[in-house]
Amino acid sequence: MSNLFDNRAKEWDNNPVHFKRSDAIAEAILNNIPLNNKMRALEYGAGTGILSNILKDKLKEIALMDNSGEMIKMIREKICHQKINNFIPIKFDLEHEDYHGNHFDFIFSQMVMHHVPNVPLIIKKLFNITNSKGYIAIADLYPEDGSFHRYSFNGHLGFDPDELKEILYEIGYSNVSYNKCFELEKEIEPGILKIYPIFLITGQKK
């Protein structure tokens, strides 16, 4: 998967939908989680850091983790050009390694989990690096018919948020809830548009 996103990194920010989607997800996060400027956060699968860039003034520090070296390179360029002083880019493959760095008060991701083969394993790893009373927020697709990805795709065709809610509870999160936060309009064939709803699910570590 990292090779795919390496190839797309330089063009990623050219798509205005990525910004519109992140704006909506950020608004949903702010409506559901009491962020403050003492919190250390982690964006898992950060890409070029669009969502983190929106939330950065609400948090003390954000670690941006991605297994794509080119995405991390784009984040480093943003840090330099925008003089961002609270981003920590981390190239790391959490699917195949255990992270032994700092723990976090808030962990979030957008449109990442449908690429992850073993979602419960990743959520458990994120749980393990979340501080007590810390929060998680995951934004992703509702179940879809496979038309969302134009290339050969072996990931999840969205998620039933009720099933994901049960996974979060089983791992140890409490106060789990979800709601629709965005509708993504995408051209799946020339002249044919389709709407893909996206949910945000949140929880808190006991």
pLDDT, position 150: 77
pLDDT band at 11 (very low <50, low <70, confident <90, very high): confident
pLDDT, position 8: 72
Do residues 202 and 137 touch, judged by C-beta distance below 8 A? yes
The tens digit of pLDDT for each residue in 167-177 reads 999 999 999 99
Q: Over 70: is that where the pLDDT of 184 sits?
A: yes
Distance CA 199, CA 190 (A): 27
Alpha-carbon separation of residue 120 from 13, 108, 125, 165, 202 (angstroms): 30, 15, 9, 11, 15
What the block records as the tokens of 13 is 């920010």
Are β-strands 40-44 and 87-91 bridged in parallel, bridged antiparallel, or unpaired? unpaired
What mean pLDDT, rounded, does the chain reach? 95
Q: Can you tell me whether residue 38 is helix, strand or coil?
A: coil
The tens digit of pLDDT for each residue in 193-205 reads 999 999 999 999 9
- CATH code matching the domain that covers 2-205, chosen among 1.10.1740.110, 3.50.50.60, 3.40.50.150, 3.40.50.1220: 3.40.50.150
pLDDT, position 188: 86
Are β-strands 61-66 and 40-44 bridged in parallel, bridged antiparallel, or unpaired? parallel
The tens digit of pLDDT for each residue in 76-122 reads 999 999 999 999 999 999 999 999 999 999 999 999 999 999 999 99
Alpha-carbon separation of residue 165 from 13, 120, 169, 197 (angstroms): 31, 11, 6, 17
pLDDT band at 181 (very low <50, low <70, confident <90, very high): very high
Dump the DSSP string for 66-125.
ES-HHHHHHHHHHHHHHT-SSEEEEE--TTTS---S--EEEEEEES-GGG-S-HHHHHHH
